[in-house]
Structure 1
Amino acid sequence: MRDLTLILLSAGSSSRFEMDVKKQWLRIKHDPLWFFVAKKLEKTSVFAKIIITSSADDLEYMKSYGQFTYVEGGDTRQQSLKNSLKYVNTDYVLVSDIARACIEATFLERIISHKTDADCIVPFLPLNDTIVYDGVTIDRDKVKRVQTPQLSKTAILLKALDTDIEYTDESSAIVASGGNREFIDGDENAHKITHISDLNKIPCIDSPSNDILSGNGFDVHAFDDKGDMYLCGVKIDSDYGFKAHSDGDVAIHALIDAILGAAGMGDIGMMFPDNDDTYKGIDSKELLKHVVKKIYNYGYIIINVDITIAAQKPRIGQYKQQMRETISSIINCDMHRVNVKATTTEKLGFVGRAEGVAVFANANLKYFNWQQKS
C-alpha cells in the first residue's frame, strides 16, 4: 500500500510575477502549469493521493481539469498547507510548490529513498558565489539554497504547524518544534518560477498551443415599460428598458457567455446567479470587466468578438460605433476586432412582435504567449 501523499501548493496570488496572468495558469501546450505538474508527478504512481490547493476564485474551474483532491487554500503558504493536511491519511507527505515545474522522477526517487532517515528530507543546492551577510563575508559552505519538494512524517509536520509562527518551508517548522531534518542533494532543473525571467531557466516546459478557442453566447430579454435601456454598455434613447435582474444589457450578457464558452468556464448564470442580490440592478459592464480579468488571469487573450443584435425596435444603427468603442476598451481588444451587427426578424416571432431583443455573440481566444515576455 502506498504510504505517501503529494500536496501541490497552487493558491498564491503570483504578486511577484508582475503579469496579468497568474503563473499557475501559464499554458504548457494546452495545460495550465499546475495541471502540467500534477499530471507529470501522477505518472510516477508513487502517491496514494494528490492534493492541490487553490484560491477560492479558482477552485471550481480547476476541478474541470482532472480527478485530484482540491482544497481551498489560505492567505499564506502555511495556512494552505494546514488546510491540505486535513485530507492526508498516509504516514508520509511530500509538499511542493507548483512553481517548480521540472521535478524529474529520478529526483523524486532520491528524496523518497531517504524518507525514514529523518523527520523531514530537504533537497538543497550549494552556493558558489561569495556570500556577504550584514556587511560580513561568511562561509558559503555553511549556506544552503533549500528547495522543494520536501518529504515529512505527517504526524510530526501536523504538530510542527500547530503554531501562529509563519515558516517558509516545512523543515524550518519541524526543526523549530524539536524535530530533525536531513539535507540531500537538490536538482538545478527544479528551479522555482518566481519572476517571468525564471521561465528561461525551466528546461521541461513547452510553449503554449497556437490553437484558437471559440465560444458562442445567446441571450434574450423582454421589454419593460420602466427603466433605462443599455446595449453593449451604451445607453439607448428609449421609453422602455428590459426585464432583468441586472441592468438587462442583453448584448453584454451574450458576449460574456461567448467568452466563458471559449474558455470552458461555464456560463453567466453560474458566475453571476440571478438569485444573488449582489447583482441586482448591476451595471453589466462591471460583470464583463470581472470576466475579462478572470480570462487574463487564467492565461487567455481575447482575439476578437462578433455581436449580432436582433431587434425590431429600437433602431441601433447610430449607436454601433459607440458600442464598439465601449466593448473594445473593456476587453482589451483593438476596436477593429470588435464587430457589432444589427438585424430584424422580418416581424417574425417575439422579436418581430417588438416584445424584446435577442443577441448572438461569438468570441475567439488564444493563450498568453509567455515565451514572448520572458
Structure 2
Amino acid sequence: MSKLERTAAILVAAGRGLRAGSGGPKQYRSIGGQTVIYRAMAPFCRHPQIFAVQPVLHPDDKAVFGDAVCALRHEPPADGGATRQASVHAGLEALAGHKPDVVLIHDAARPFVSAALISRAIDAASRTGAAVPAIAVTDTIKLIDDDGNVLATPDRARLRIAQTPQAFRFEAILDAHRRAARERRSDFTDDAALAEWAGLTVATFEGDPANMKLTTPEDFVREEARLGALLGDVRTGSGYDVHAFGDGDHLMICGVRVPHARGFLAHSDGDVGLHALVDAILGALADGDIGSHFPPSDPRWKGAASDRFLKYALERVTARGGRVAHLDVTLICERPKIGPFRDAMRARIAEIASLSLSRVAVKATTSERLGFTGREEGIAAMASATIRLPWDDKGWDDRGCEDKGRSD
C-alpha cells in the first residue's frame, strides 16, 4: 500500500443480537474477561496503518459502549440504522469528511480479528479496490427447495465463507451505498453483495478460521472454553506503597492530579496507587518489585510520571502472552477525600491498562486517626492484580504437579 493512502475502519455495532440469547446485545457481553466489542475494536485502534476508527451504535447503547471501550481512541459514534446496510452507510457518511482512501468494514460480533488479517485487508483493497476475507468450505453444501428436498450439490471447491473486515476504496463503496439508498435497496446482507450489485469486481483474500462470528449462545460457551484453556494459568499478586507528604499543592494518585495543601516526598511523582499496582502485577509474574526495575538511585526516574511504570509492568504481562483480568487499589488516608476523584482514577487506570471500567476498582478508607496516615503525614496504598497466563511446562510435570527437581 502506498504510504500516502489513508485507511479508516468502521465497526458495525448497532445490532441487537437476538439469536445470542438473553443478556443484552451480544457485543457488550464479556468473553474471556473482556467485552466482545472491546476485543473486536482494539486491533483496529492499535493498527499502525489505521488513522480513524468509526463506531456505529444503536442510540440506546452509547453509555455502555463508553464503559466498554473507554481505553480506546475512536471517532464520535454514529447512530446506526434499522439494518446492517443502513448502519454501514451511516458510518461511511460520518467518515466522509476525513477523506480516507481505503475503508475496512468490520462486524463487532467478530472479536477475534488479528492484526495480520487487518494488514491483508488493507493490502487487498489497495490492489483491487474491493476485497473480502474468505475461507474454504470444508463441508458438503446442499441447495434445497421450500420443502427441504435437495435440489443440487454445489462444487465446494468454488465456495467460500465470507468474513469481515471487508475492504474497499472509500469513494467507491460510499457511492455504492448512496446509490442503493436512492434506489431504496436495503436487502444486502454484506457490503460485498452491495458492491457486486453496484458493478464492482470483488476479490477475495486469505481469511482466518479463528475470526469467527458470535451468533448463538453455544458460540459463547465454546469460545469462552477455548480462551480459558489458552490462558488457564491464573495468578494473583499484591502490592503496597507509602509516601510521606512534603511541599507542594497537589498529589498524583492513580494517575489523577488531586489538589491538596501538600505534595509527595518522592523520587518520581510519588503516585502510591500506581506504584502499588506495579508491585502487584510484578508479584503475579514473580518478577521482582518496582524498586528492582526502577531503582530510586537512577536519575532517569526523578520526577517521572508513574504511568510509565505501570505501562512497563503491563508490557511484561503481554510479553509472556498473558493479559490482566482485574486491578484493585485501596487508598489509606484521612485527606484528601478520594470519593470525588474515584471514577476518574478508575478511568485513568483502565485507559493505561486497556481494560474495561468494570475490571478496575479503586477504594478508600481511613486509619481512624491512628498511625502516620491518621496524623496526615502521608498516604498508603494496597493493591492486587489478577492476571492470566498461558499454561506451559516450566516448573510442572506432565501430570500438572509441581516438579520438585526429580532426577528420574
- TM bucket normalised to smaller: 0.5 to 0.7
Greater per-residue helix proportion: 2
Q: Distance in 1 between matches of 2:223 and 2:156?
A: 23
CA drift of 1:2 comes to 5.3
AA aligned to 1:4 is T
- 2:81 pairs with 1:78: no
CA contact (8 A) 1:4 1:93 kept: yes
Can you give the 5+ residue segments of structure 1 that lack an aligned partner in the other structure? 213-260, 265-297, 301-374
Partner letter of residue 106 of structure 1? A
Distance 1:157 1:8, change over 3 A: same
Alignment of 1:218-233 (within 5 A): none
Identical columns (%): 22
Counterpart position of 1:59: 62
Letter in 2 for 1:131: I
Unaligned runs of 5+ in 2: 145-149, 233-323, 329-342, 347-355, 359-408
For residues 174 and 119 of structure 2, what CA distance do their matches in structure 1 show?
24
Match of 1:126 in 2: 136
| Structure 2 counterpart of 1:191, one-letter code | M
Tell me the TM-score normalised to structure 1 length.
Answer: 0.53
Letter in 2 for 1:20: G
How much has 1:34 moved relative to structure 2?
A: 0.9
How far 1:31 moved relative to its partner?
3.9
Residues 1-374 of structure 1 correspond to what in structure 2 (within 5 A)?
1=4, 3-28=6-31, 31-64=34-67, 65=70, 66-69=72-75, 70-88=77-95, 89-134=99-144, 135=150, 136-162=152-178, 163=180, 164-165=184-185, 166-199=187-220, 200-201=222-223
Cα separation, 2, equivalents of 1:172 and 1:111: 17
Q: Which amino acid aligns with 1:182?
A: A
- Deviation, 1:139, is 1.1
TM-score (norm 2): 0.49
Question: What is the Cα deviation at residue 8 of structure 1?
Answer: 0.6
2:114 and 2:214 map into 1 onto residues whose CA distance is 16
Q: 1:27 to 1:142 in 2, by over 3 A?
A: same
Is 1:93–1:152's contact at 8 Å kept on the other side of the alignment?
A: yes
Counterpart-to-counterpart distance in 2, 1:161 and 1:204: 37
Secondary structure of 1:53's match? strand
The aligned amino acid for 1:53 is V
Q: Does structure 1 retain, via aligned residues, the 8 Å contact 2:23–2:29?
A: no
RMSD (Å), alpha carbons = 3.1
Distance 1:204 1:116, change over 3 A: farther
**Is residue 32–residue 227 contact of structure 2 (8 Å, CA) maintained in 1?**
no
In the TM superposition, residue 90 of structure 1 has moved relative to its aligned partner by 0.3
**Offset, 1:28:** 4.6
Deviations along 1:21-54, one digit per CA (max 9) or x if unpaired, are 3211112566422123222322222211001111
